């Protein structure tokens, strides 16, 4: 059984193999969304990009990026900015990321406007 550790919340939970991180977070009371997205989001259909997370460890234990994640980085400004400003992090959509082993997750990674690589 995979263990998912939400590092900001200091919560570790057991998950089913193949379960997505959004479902795991919701089952265990971990808030993935910020601001208005707490109420308005696409409910896991991979369209709004508000469930973005950064994988701190265990990327190899997660599913590969699917079509929605690959296309949204070009068309959704929220996900695009998070990816651009966090090049050292593995930014993913929680609703599109299934776990198959232990992972560490940072919820809602900040946009790093002043990062070394953002304006280069």
Residues that bind ligand FES (CB under 6 A): 22, 41-42, 44, 46-51, 93, 95
Tell me whether residue 20 or residue 85 sits nearer to ligand FES (CB atom).
Answer: 20
Alpha helices in 17-92 (DSSP H): 21-27, 67-75, 77-85
The end-to-end CA distance of the chain, in Å, is 42
| CA 42 – CA 5 distance, rounded (Å) | 24
Tell me whether residue 26 or residue 100 sits nearer to ligand FES (CB atom).
Answer: 26
Q: Minimum Å distance from CB 2 to ligand FES? A: 19
The β-bridge relationship of strands 3-6 and 103-107 is parallel
Q: Minimum Å distance from CB 33 to ligand FES? A: 8
Tell me whether residue 76 or residue 86 sits nearer to ligand FES (CB atom).
Answer: 76
């Amino acid at each position: 059984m995979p263990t998912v550790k939400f590092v900001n919340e200091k919560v570790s939970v057991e998950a089913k193999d193949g379960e997505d991180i959004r479902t795991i977070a919701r089952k265990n009371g971990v808030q993935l969304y910020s601001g208005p997205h707490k109420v308005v989001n696409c409910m896991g259909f991979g369209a709004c990009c508000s469930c973005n997370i950064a994988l701190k460890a265990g990327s190899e234990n997660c599913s590969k990026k699917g079509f929605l994640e690959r296309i949204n980085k070009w068309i959704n400004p929220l996900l695009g900015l998070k990816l651009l400003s966090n090049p050292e992090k593995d930014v993913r959509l929680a609703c599109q990321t299934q776990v198959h082993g232990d992972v560490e997750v940072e919820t809602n990674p900040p946009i790093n406007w002043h990062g070394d690589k953002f304006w280069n």
